[in-house]
Structure 1
Amino acid sequence: MQQEQEDLGKEREVLSLIKKRSGKLGALTRKRNEIHTLIDNGENTTVIEEHMKVYNFFLEEFMDVQVAVQSLLNEDERESDHTDWYEPKLISCREFIDDIETWLKQDASQDAANNVAPDAMYLTDDGNGAIFPLPSGEFPIGSMMTMGHFEVQGQPTPAAPPTPGPAPFSFSSPSASPTPVPFSFSGGPRTFPPRASGHFGKTFQRSINVGEVAGNRILTKKTLVVRFSEAEANVEAILLKAREALGQVEETFVLTDSQGNEIQDSDGTRTSQFWRQNSRKVFVLLEGEFEDLQQQRRAKVSRREDNTLLDRAEEVKVAAHLQRPSLQPAKDAMSCLVCKAVFVDPQFATCCESLVGCRVCVQRWCASSDFCLKCRAANFAANVLAVRGLSPAADFFRDFDVDA
């Protein structure tokens, strides 16, 4: 009775914490929507930074409640709650924070560009190399990579207003005009990127489970979080990011689902929609471990098939005493398709899921043909498995005269 009361009290406490956790998540969502609205309305970075402080505070409270919930769950419940419910929410929150930080940097960079004196302006690229304008005021587009990232550098504009006259290039100012004013490169006109608003997220995140094989199961050793763009939403790019995160770039890995099936490159896996679904578990395994897992599973299937065939053989032996004349079809099923005799070391074809012949006969067949003895499927040699445990049944039919 006392144990039941303790269990009931614990269950009520868990439900109370889960309700509190949902409330914290709701506060995060409302604050996120409020920040989006402020940015869409052109609010300045100072106000956004203040609201982000509140958002981060809400996130810490949400994470504290999660720790309390986890402390009351058993091991299986903890893993399910963390992976299926909490982790996708946390990744979404972190993506939002990263997007806002990117926007703040872009906004600060644009403000800095608007305050640089035109005659002292130059650009720096990702490698911190300087690119100076030509005497005409145009930047040499041949020195700039397509879709490269550049920052405006130079001396600030003097306090005195500049002398009226055409400037060699200019940038858009949100307070001056909603339409970006073009500045030119020697390769043609370009426009300065507009101030970010509302639409964030050129990149995405997802969790990748680093797996290890135990028996015929995959266990999670640790979890990685990788960031990728739409162009990187494919098997090859995700594998490379996982290898880099593990610091094992030279190793060969395989991506699998939770059942150990390899995730292969296809039209379906070349979109961000596939990789953004964190409810779909993705594992990364060393190629050697993946092959071991597949071998163990094939062996398990083979043992299951052996047991099924033995059971059928026993049924046939019992039926032999009752319906002796009707055993010819059964004997035919136990006969080699090459030599027509009862199997010696029977071989099983996975392509048509059938017993096909003696070991020696199948080897001779494979030496001259690539097609299955029965269904004519290609790559026959790779689809053949040895079947063990059928010797008693084979001996029975070998010695049994169905015409007697």
Structure 2
Amino acid sequence: EQYILFKGSKRVTLKDDDMSAEKIGRIFQVSSQTVYLTDDSNIAIFPNQSGYLSTLDLTARGHYEVHGDESIYIADSVHGKLRPSRMVVVRFLECEATVHGIIGKVQDALGSYDPVILTDAQGNEILDSEGTKGSLYWKQNARKVFAISEQDFTEFQGTKRKRSSSRKDDETSGLQDVYEKIEEVVLASQGLQQVISSIKELSELSSQTSAKTLTDVQMQKIKAAFTCIVCKGPIDQPVFATCCRSLIGCKLCVDQWMATASQCLKCRGEDLSNNVFLAVGLSEVLLALSDIIKVE
């Protein structure tokens, strides 16, 4: 049989073998020593001596609300991370459901009144506010509450700040790499004057009759600029290489070339994969090649 258990917004379906106080407590983050259920009639159902809820007291597919004292994780700061070492159960009244009140309950459970800080699972300190007052905040199933000594918390925060600073340095370094790459492309584009001139000339020709015959000079200039080095046909999805500052071939052809070689197929420059870019905006011009270039 199956039973539907819920607490707050959390809802879980369990089978007969799962109806133990230990498992229910673990799922709903309450003490297994104090867990019990209530049915739709608000009748309380407690575990038996073996720690299981008797299925004789339950109705198949019935809905049962889970109750129990809340658990607080006692944590230490280990290598800049919160590591729970044990768990204490705290029982509190509505008027005690504040940061100060919960800290007092934790200290009572520990038998020590050394200063402690309450944090969430990410190590952010939980502060007294309107949002943290009341049992609704402290009994949410999705919220894990950690208690850490004041000294460990200070150490944890220091490590956290160092990691954050390190990430910022890495981001700055990454931005510098981007700036250098942009500058490299800009410099390379200065060598594209011949290609740009050919594009302009080809665009003008493509707007005229498709039957126009080009001069030998025009033909050679256009073919040199827009012929793929690999397949020897008009370039499809042109790829531009910064090493030789020119269009080198079709994207598919260049990809196939780079699968087995690292040198530029035109100038033989090294590290081709980091020096090629897809040139966009030439589709219409290149499409016109098949119509206006007449091979004698």
TM-score of the pair, normalised by structure 2: 0.44
The structure richer in helix per residue is 1
TM-score of the pair, normalised by structure 1: 0.33
Q: Using CA pairs below 8 Å that are at least 6 residues apart, which structure has the higher relative contact order?
A: 2
The structure richer in strand per residue is 2
